[in-house]
Structure 1
């Protein structure tokens, strides 16, 4: 529910008609931009409906990865336990969304939709100028961020607590289960990026 609320706030506060003008005024007439914006506002409810399902599916996949790693490391833990751990860890990703909201409302008040899309606080992407980067590298650099590392730590801590064991065991489970899956996901996104933009 919190993810849905933050998503709603971001849409209302940041994805404005003015942001559309800043993004497309060099390419389209204002009447066309108004039509784009109107269409988006009418169809955004699809995002609100899908978001909870996407979130649950992600948590389910993370739980599967943790369960697989637990089995490979000769540990036993109920699926409901790993699911709860994944839910708890997921809350950390609310922080970058809230920081993004505050950044564009209070600091960078004139922005484009691309600015909003590419901005990820405390990520490796912040170390580079986006215009100098290949589109292929944007998502990997966004993914490697402080909040992702915190997510790993919370997962490892949750596994450690659930197993009543050493934190090193929790770290081993996360590094042998979740992180390889994350790397595979990033590679898939990069492959899709190359497929859609062969010139990058």
Structure 2
């Protein structure tokens, strides 16, 4: 146990000195790359956009996708800050002395989980999908509950929640619990409870709110 404690202390010492800004930049660049690949190999091949390109009317969609790139850093900063705050409150309620900065950096690194489905989405649509239209592209999310429904037969307010409930989100919850357990050095069971009663609860309430408001 003493060996484990020494290894953990050494890891945390390195963790405190890692450059959070560099990690944030890397995450943003990975999202930029995934969006660019999707635009290059999927969006540009959709028939409707090819027609717009021929008519010289594609500039509006170019503007839309350009704004999407610009919004990535703002969205991620907001997401990381809110998620870290919710988890920090959860840790505080259970008496775990973890700083907000530690949790923010933890959330930042765990975001790598969501880069995987973005890349898988592009791969699936390029290799396996049969000439998808724009709405099929927007409704698709790998290993999500949306696979069990026909997106055209359900209200649009359910599209986002069904995509948000996916295997990668579950992995994210587990990694958050393991991260809090590792950083705090406390019991894993309590770390799981903290994540379940703070982030997971907040996430599910947000999905319920979304369905009610946007129906």
TM-score higher than 0.5 here? yes
* Aligned match of 1:8: 36
User: TM-score of the superposition, structure 2-length normalised?
Assistant: 0.80
* Aligned match of 2:20: none
List runs of 5+ in structure 1 lacking aligned partners: 195-200
* Aligned match of 1:92: 113
* Aligned match of 2:144: 123
Instruction: Give the Å deviation of 1:35.
Output: 5.0
Q: Aligned in 2, Cα 1:44/1:129: closer, same or farther, shift over 3 Å? A: closer
Equivalent residue in structure 1 for 2:48, among 10, 17, 21: 21
Q: Output aligned runs, 1:69-80, within 5 Å.
A: 69-80=90-101
Aligned length: 187
Instruction: Give the Å deviation of 1:181.
Output: 1.4
User: TM-score of the superposition, structure 1-length normalised?
Assistant: 0.85
Equivalent residue in structure 1 for 2:208, among 187, 195, 198: 187
Q: Quick check: 39-48 or 64-73, which moved more?
A: 39-48
Note the aligned Cα RMSD (angstroms): 2.0
- Measure the CA separation in 2 of the matches of 1:75 and 1:114: 45
Q: Aligned in 2, Cα 1:31/1:142: closer, same or farther, shift over 3 Å? A: closer
* Aligned match of 1:167: 188
Q: Output aligned runs, 1:42-61, within 5 Å.
A: 42-61=63-82
* Aligned match of 2:169: 148
Instruction: Give SS of 1:122's match.
Output: coil
- Measure the CA separation in 2 of the matches of 1:192 and 1:113: 24
* Aligned match of 1:65: 86
- Measure the CA separation in 2 of the matches of 1:7 and 1:32: 19
List runs of 5+ in structure 2 lacking aligned partners: 1-28
- Measure the CA separation in 1 of the matches of 2:56 and 2:208: 35
* Aligned match of 1:81: 102
C-alpha distance after superposition, 1:112-162 (max 9, x if no partner): 111110001111111122233232322221111100000001100100000
CA contact (8 A) 2:145 2:165 kept: yes
- Measure the CA separation in 2 of the matches of 1:36 and 1:20: 14
Instruction: Give the Å deviation of 1:33.
Output: 8.0
